[in-house]
Amino acid sequence: MNKKTISRLSYVVCGAANAACGQILKGIIFLAIEIAYFVFMIVSGFGRLRGLATLGENVQGMAFNEELGIYEMMAGDNSMLILLSGTVTVVITIAFILFWLFTISSGKAAIKRVEEGKHVNNFLEDVKSLANKNINFLFLSVPVVGLGVFTVMPLIYMILMAFTNYDSNHQPPGNLFDWVGIKNFITLLSTSDRLSSTFWPVLGWTLIWGFAATFSCYFGGMFLAMIINSKGIEFKKVWRTIFVLTMAIPAFISLRVVATMLGEKGIFNVLLQQWGFTSSALPFLSNATWARFSVIIVNFWIGVPVTMLMVSGILMNIPGELYESARIDGASPFMMFRKITFPYMWFVTTPYLISNLIGNFNNFNTIYFLTAGEPLTLNYYKGAGKTDLLVTWLYKLTKDSNDYNLAATIGIIIFVISAIFTLVSFSRSNALKNEEGFS
């Protein structure tokens, strides 16, 4: 048969080209997968995709059963399951399209090799090449499948949810929910109701928190590392270990413990009163301003050792001659920090700082375990408190009030904020450009 015809045929019948070139087993497998996909689509797939458009039509309720002559409960459509199975179908379809593209390129390669008179791998050789030339297929298959099922699919599902009205008033199976377009974004961002008057202050605090937490730990850690690494400090390892202890204790434990220590009758208040610093308990976590300072300080306590360890490694890379000549020129230690250490650090750690900043915007643990977003306030939408970050609010919206659409909308907004900062970081750093530099 004509090569061109076969090549064209393989667009419709997957694996045709491979089979024609002698890779029979490969061709059969390709074809089997294609058939399986179409059978799936015909049996249930198209129905699921149609469900995605409507999100269910029958509300659960009483319906008259003529045979028995009574009203009975009719199970309605479950919008959530319809949305989920629709998402699954979409992901399967995307996977199939990728697979289809792959079969085409595989077929073309086989035809090319036949035309050039080269050896065409049989199935066994193909399997063997997984350990060598095609090792990327072997090594990436597990992560790709894992990410597809447990990251991409849920993400698509949640992103879609941001465009529905799946809130506490539209809970399946009792109720249906439906597409509402970008209404959630508009309510959250621009109308003057409760939600947007919660969103903007929470966003503001998230940004303040992110910058305060990142830079306090950065400079604190740098300061500590410089002291420990400076000349004349004995037992460097012991000092380092003391600070590393806080890092080694799982965060949820140290944060829970510190939270109880900061309570109204917690040990800090007890001691401060015993030591005569104050006559009444201080509202460390119960007053909004105090609580905000408390979380930043506790985060400092936890974050400084991490930066300290990281900076220690970098400090040793700074050429000693720089300091030597600076000292001869009569520079003070502060001058040397300002003119040598800091510029070097800043240059090397900018990407780290940006990713740390994004990490702190999403620093769920510190806030949730310390204050759980409290103190609550009546000015905010239900459940949100004065120390809530966008992420903790998102969590509360899903867990406590079941406003999934709002949670998903906030998730997308967080993504946009993170993306902006990442883009800034990429445009500044040349880490990506230098990727090949070492090889």
Q: Which is nearer to another protein, 35 or 145 (CB)?
A: 145
Residue 381's Cβ-side half-sphere holds a number of Cα atoms within 13 Å equal to 24
Out of 358, 367, 370, 406, name the contact with another protein by CB under 8 A.
358
User: Rounded CA gap, 318 and 323, in Å?
Assistant: 9
Q: Find the binding residues for another protein in span 194-233 (CB under 8 A).
A: 224, 227-228, 230-233
Q: Find the binding residues for another protein in span 332-351 (CB under 8 A).
A: 348-349, 351
Query: Could you give the 3-state DSSP secondary structure of residue 72?
Result: strand
Q: Minimum distance between the CB of residue 70 and another protein, rounded to whole angstroms?
A: 33
Give the H/E segment covering residue 62. strand 61-65
Length, in residues, of the chain: 439
Q: How many chain residues bind another protein (CB under 8 A)?
A: 102
User: Rounded CA gap, 77 and 172, in Å?
Assistant: 8
Q: Which stretch binds another protein (CB under 8 A): 5-13, 26-34, 195-203, 413-421?
A: 413-421
Out of 13, 28, 109, 310, name the contact with another protein by CB under 8 A.
310
Q: Find the binding residues for another protein in span 14-73 (CB under 8 A).
A: none
Q: Find the binding residues for another protein in span 151-170 (CB under 8 A).
A: 151-155, 157-158
Beta bridge partners of 64: 71
Q: Which is nearer to another protein, 380 or 404 (CB)?
A: 404
- Interface map 280-309 toward another protein (x if CB under 8 A): ---------------------x---xx--x
Q: Is the peptide bond before 375 cis (omega within 30 degrees of 0)?
A: yes
Out of 171, 286, 287, 398, name the contact with another protein by CB under 8 A.
398
Q: Which is nearer to another protein, 180 or 281 (CB)?
A: 281
Per DSSP, the chain holds a count of helices (H) and strands (E) of: 20, 2
The CB-based long-range contact list for 160-163 (8 Å cut-off, 24+ gap) reads: 160/83, 160/87, 161/83, 161/404, 161/405, 161/408, 162/405, 162/408, 162/409, 162/411, 162/412, 163/405
DSSP 28-61: HHHHHHHHHHHHHIIIIIHHHHHHHHH---PPSE
Q: Which is nearer to another protein, 2 or 136 (CB)?
A: 136
- Interface map 66-105 toward another protein (x if CB under 8 A): --------------x---x--x------------------
CA 286 vs. chain centroid, Å, equals 30
Q: Which is nearer to another protein, 232 or 320 (CB)?
A: 232
Q: Find the binding residues for another protein in span 313-332 (CB under 8 A).
A: 313-314
Closest Cα to residue 196, out of 184, 179, 206, 180? 184
Q: Find the binding residues for another protein in span 122-151 (CB under 8 A).
A: 131-133, 135-136, 138-140, 142-144, 146-147, 149-151
Q: Minimum distance between the CB of residue 253 and another protein, rounded to whole angstroms?
A: 4
Q: Find the binding residues for another protein in span 361-390 (CB under 8 A).
A: 362, 364-365, 368-369
DSSP 97-117: HHHHHHHHHHHHHHHHHHHTT
Angle of the 404-428 helix axis to the 153-161 helix axis, nearest 10: 120
User: Rounded CA gap, 423 and 155, in Å?
Assistant: 21
Q: Minimum distance between the CB of residue 386 and another protein, rounded to whole angstroms?
A: 19
Give first-to-last CA distance, the chain, whole Å: 46
Q: Minimum distance between the CB of residue 243 and another protein, rounded to whole angstroms?
A: 6
Q: Find the binding residues for another protein in span 233-272 (CB under 8 A).
A: 233, 239-254, 256-258, 260-261, 263, 265-267, 270-271
Q: Minimum distance between the CB of residue 277 and another protein, rounded to whole angstroms?
A: 5
Q: Minimum distance between the CB of residue 226 and another protein, rounded to whole angstroms?
A: 8
